[in-house]
Amino acid sequence: MIYTQTLEKLRALRLDGLAQGLEEQRQQSNVLKLDFEERLALLVERQWTWKENRALTARLKRAQFKISTACVEGIDYAPHRGLKRAQIEQLRAGEWIQNHRNCLIIGPTGIGKTYLGCALGVQACRDGFKAVYFTAPKLLRALQQAQADGSLTKLLKSIQKARLFVVDDLGVAAVGPKPYRDLLEIIDDRCGHGSTLITSQYPVEQWHDVIGDATVADAILDRLVHNAYRLDLSGESIRKIKNSIPRKTS
């Protein structure tokens, strides 16, 4: 009876990890042989792990990554991609986010830019940073819609709160210069306060044509490029290679 009440009180206090650990300990005879402090330490560790996992799940859910299963451990370092493991490991350490630096991932269609961007975003969430992910077309549509319905300030604030802002496939959709002025405002607000990661199939030198407004393009590039890590991918489309592999028949 006392044990049941204890579990109920632990859950009422939102100490679900500790409650789960206590139930697990009752099923493990070897743990029951430990002294009180050792068992308490195990319970505290169980609660800590439960809390961290729950927080990570919440960060990933809020981020809305296109590839939520992407991870730095799964990155392909095939020589033809031009991707350096040392550079990824440097980004994996997370200091670039702590120091409010940016990251630009440039490469042809199908080379794996989205996976790489999502993998770095997931790693940021693992490290305890809040992140938010948009494909460029979705972001620009959201900015236009928010401008129309009066919710732009709310949208900008929600993005500003994220330590890492990921924009995937910049330039893939043709839009007018107005949304890019809103994007400039976002990037400007983040300078010195957060990191921005952008993927694009267009080389940085062509962003003036993509954005369509030389003044806005200059301002965006000035705030991004000089403080950014550059990952320039090359090679044939991974999707094309995978689709060309003959399937085994039984």
- Nearest to 132, CA basis, from 140, 142, 124: 124
Is the residue at 22 inside a domain?
yes
Give residue 51's pLDDT.
84
| Contacts of residue 100, Cβ cutoff 8 Å, sequence gap at least 6 | 190, 191, 192, 193, 194, 195, 227
Is the residue at 44 inside a domain?
yes
Q: List the domain range (segments joined by +) for residue 43.
A: 2-62
- Asked which of 11, 44, 62 is the last residue of a domain, the reply is 62
Let me know: does 136 contact 168? Beta carbons within 8 Å. Answer: yes
Q: Which residues of the chain have pLDDT under 70?
A: 1, 174, 176-177, 236-250
Q: What is the pTM of this model?
A: 0.82
- Asked which of 44, 62, 80 is the last residue of a domain, the reply is 62
| Euclidean distance between the first and the last CA atom of the chain, given in angstroms as a whole number | 59
Q: What CATH number has the domain bearing residue 70?
A: 3.40.50.300
Rounded CA separation 108/14 (Å): 48
Give residue 178's pLDDT.
76
Do 161 and 85 fall within a single domain?
yes
Do 44 and 98 fall within a single domain?
no
Q: What is the DSSP letter of 159?
A: H
Tell me how many domains the chain contains: 2
Q: What are the distances in angstroms from CA 207 to CA 164, 180, 213?
A: 21, 11, 10
Is the residue at 242 inside a domain?
no
Q: What is the DSSP string of 35-74?
A: -HHHHHHHHHHHHHHHHHHHHHHHHHHHHT-SSTT--GGG
Do 184 and 139 fall within a single domain?
yes
Rounded CA separation 107/71 (Å): 19
Give residue 49's pLDDT.
81
Do 73 and 57 fall within a single domain?
no
Question: Which tokens hold the place of 198?
Answer: 């952008």
**The one-letter amino acid at 29:** S
Coarse DSSP helix, strand, coil percentages of the chain, rounded to the nearest 5 percent: 60, 10, 30
| Contacts of residue 230, Cβ cutoff 8 Å, sequence gap at least 6 | 103, 104, 106
Write the burial class of residue 74 (CB in 10 Å: 0-12 exposed, 13-18 middle, 19+ buried). Answer: exposed
- Nearest to 127, CA basis, from 71, 190, 69: 71
Give residue 250's pLDDT.
45
